[in-house]
């Protein structure tokens, strides 16, 4: 494989001149640049990507680290990131962290060695020291969905508290008075914000009781189990707001297993807006997050920082949308 020295020799210039041509520096006269490009073409020379990275040039690669690629919410987020990155000629490396801080740190360590140009993390476990460390090295990072407000970088997520209130108000409008909330893991800021929104909207209801709030794990099985416990506590339960669509699907399954009709007897609302919500029986009412837009916005902010330098922290909360379907409205939206 040809080296930069072979190109310099064939073009009759120095290695430094070849490097300046590769890195498109204006200080090379057009005739010399032409000779170098001809030699590169003739030798089929591939500039050493790591060397280019070492020279502080961009590698054209960004890393996207997600906490759970089996949850359909995250691939939709990744699609938004990748479509924007691809349009800008960037390659996206995808990693799965299982929301383990140490795993996230090892991704950062390994990918920094590959000279990635920037990181997007959907994480609430990423350590501030890792965020600060990257920014000190002028490597941009953007936190998506679960980033903490205190992070020193850009944080993009949905308005989770607004979304929870939308869900509860919709259930109340559909006639519910004993409304439960299956909440996600409280170390996730998204789940905490939804629980707060639920309490603000449902707290004044006559049928309200703290025992109507029950923990889940953002997956189908925990949603199913939560409904078993709720039905044992509240025989008059008539509404369920699940903190994400997967738990809402589990809730539908538990109600079906007990012959409880949805929405006639109990109405169910989820949160996320994943595709699965359109094919459940009945179709699931949900609070749709602007997932694709969130991913695209994160990529655009990261690319801006790669191109123009990193910025201070700022939180961007995007609006969510109520999508009424047959799990709360008889006959559908």
Residue whose token pair is 């996230």: 104
Residue 190 touching ligand RIB (CB under 6 A): yes
Q: Where are the beta strands (DSSP E) in the chain?
A: 61-66, 91-96, 118-121, 141-144, 154-158, 179-183, 213-215, 239-242, 267-272, 285-288, 314-318, 321-323
Give me the least distance between CB of 28 and ligand RIB, in Å please: 49
Give least dist CB 218 to ligand RIB, A.
5
Q: Which of 17, 19, 159, 244 binds ligand RIB (CB under 6 A)?
A: 244
Q: Does the footprint of ligand RIB cover residue 271 (CB under 6 A)?
A: yes
Binder to ligand RIB among 117, 193, 272, 283 (CB under 6 A)?
272
Token pair belonging to 78? 């990744």
Nearer to ligand RIB, 135 or 194 (CB): 194
In whole angstroms, how close is the CB of 205 to ligand RIB at the nearest point? 24
Strands (E), 264-313: 267-272, 285-288
Pairing of strands 239-242, 267-272: parallel
CB of 162 to ligand RIB, least distance (A): 13
Give the Cα separation of 303 and 300 in Å (integer).
Answer: 5
Per-residue binding string, ligand RIB, 197-236, x by CB under 6 A, is: ---------------------x------------------
Question: What mask, x for binding ligand RIB by CB under 6 A, covers residues 281 to 310?
Answer: ------------------------------
Alpha-carbon span 148 to 187, nearest angstrom: 10
- For position 183 contacting ligand RIB by CB under 6 A, the verdict is no
* Residue in the shown chain whose Cβ atom is closest to ligand RIB: 190
Q: Find the shortest distance in angstroms from Cβ 21 to ligand RIB.
A: 46
Asked whether 151 and 143 are in contact (CB, 8 A), the reply is: yes
Residue 257 CB contacts under 8 Å (≥ 6 apart), including other chains: none
- CB nearer to ligand RIB: give 35 or 159: 159
Count of residues that interact with ligand RIB, criterion CB under 6 A: 11
C-alpha span between 293 and 61 (Å, rounded): 20
Using CB under 6 A as the binding rule, whether residue 73 contacts ligand RIB is answered as yes
Token pair, residue 94, equals 């995808």
Q: State how far the Cα of 250 lies from the Cα of 220, in Å rounded to an integer.
A: 4
Beta-strand pair 321-323/285-288: antiparallel
145 binds ligand RIB (CB under 6 A): yes
The verdict on 193 binding ligand RIB (CB under 6 A) reads no
Bridge partner list, 180: 240
Shortest distance in whole angstroms from residue 145 CB to ligand RIB: 5
Spatial CB neighbours of 187, under 8 Å, sequence gap ≥ 6: 124, 125
Contact status: 178 vs ligand RIB (CB under 6 A): no
- In angstroms, the CA 171 to CA 165 distance is 10
> By the criterion CB under 6 A, which residues form the site for ligand RIB?
71, 73, 145-146, 188, 190, 218, 244, 246, 271-272
């Amino acid at each position: 494989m040809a080296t930069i020295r072979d190109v310099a020799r064939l073009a009759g210039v120095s290695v430094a001149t070849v490097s300046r041509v590769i890195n498109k520096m204006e200080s090379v006269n057009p005739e010399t640049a032409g000779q170098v490009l001809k030699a590169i073409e003739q030798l089929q020379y591939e500039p050493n990507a790591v060397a280019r990275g070492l020279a502080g040039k961009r590698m054209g690669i960004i890393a996207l680290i997600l906490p759970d690629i089996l949850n359909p919410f995250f691939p939709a987020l990744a699609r938004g990131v990748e479509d924007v990155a691809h349009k800008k000629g960037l390659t996206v490396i995808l990693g799965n962290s299982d929301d383990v801080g140490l795993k996230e740190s090892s991704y950062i360590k390994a990918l920094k060695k590959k000279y990635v140009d920037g990181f997007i993390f959907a994480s609430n476990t990423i350590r501030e020291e890792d965020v600060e460390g990257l920014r000190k090295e002028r490597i941009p990072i953007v936190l998506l969905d679960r980033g903490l407000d205190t992070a020193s970088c850009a944080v993009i997520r949905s308005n989770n508290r607004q979304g929870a209130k939308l869900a509860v108000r919709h259930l109340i409008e559909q006639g519910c008075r004993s409304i439960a909330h299956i909440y996600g893991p409280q170390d996730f800021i998204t789940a905490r914000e939804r629980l707060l929104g639920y309490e603000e909207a449902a707290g004044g209801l006559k049928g309200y009781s703290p025992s109507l709030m029950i923990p889940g794990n953002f997956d189908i099985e925990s949603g199913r189990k939560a409904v078993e416990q709720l039905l044992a506590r509240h025989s008059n339960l008539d509404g369920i707001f699940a903190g994400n669509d997967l738990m809402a699907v589990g809730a539908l399954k538990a109600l079906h297993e007990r012959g409880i009709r949805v929405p006639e007897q109990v109405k169910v609302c989820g949160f996320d807006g994943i595709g699965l919500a359109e094919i459940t029986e009945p179709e699931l009412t949900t609070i749709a997050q602007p997932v694709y837009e969130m991913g695209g916005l994160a990529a655009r902010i990261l690319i801006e920082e790669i191109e123009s330098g990193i910025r201070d922290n700022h939180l961007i909360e995007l609006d969510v949308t109520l999508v009424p379907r047959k799990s709360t409205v008889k006959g559908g939206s």
